[in-house]
Amino acid sequence: MSNMGKPSHEEAEYFTKIEMEKRQAMAEKVKSAMKAEELEKLKALHWHHCAKCGFEMHSVVFKGVTIEKCPHCGGIYLDAGELEQLAGKEGGFVSAVLSIFKT
């Protein structure tokens, strides 16, 4: 049985990484085009609000790490480095997932 048409795991990972790089570049373009004042207004509108449902996030301590959790939908926001703190420095799966998003 052939795997024709279905990308391998490595191919899917590669294209995901390329797509994330394109999105990061586009976000940087938009950010540089916006004035600092506009960025501050945008930040104030969304600060500590859930990306999924818009409710205000609440800080909770989980396994010694302060994370933000939405009381409405249960969504969780992790700051840079918090996933590594929670999952361990060299978790194979976590490292693989994070490598997709690093440029």
Euclidean distance between CA atoms 61 and 16, whole angstroms: 31
Helix, strand or coil for residue 59? strand
Whole-number mean pLDDT of the chain? 80
In this prediction, residue 8 carries a pLDDT of 79
Q: Is the pLDDT of residue 102 over 50?
A: yes
Rounded mean pLDDT, 22-30 = 89
Cβ distance 78 to 59 under 8 Å? no
Summarised one tens digit per residue, pLDDT across range 42-53 is: 777 777 888 888
Q: Is the pLDDT of residue 86 over 80?
A: yes
Instruction: Decide: residue 69, CB within 10 A, 0-12 exposed, 13-18 middle, 19+ buried.
Output: middle
Q: Whole-structure pTM over 0.85, yes or no?
A: no
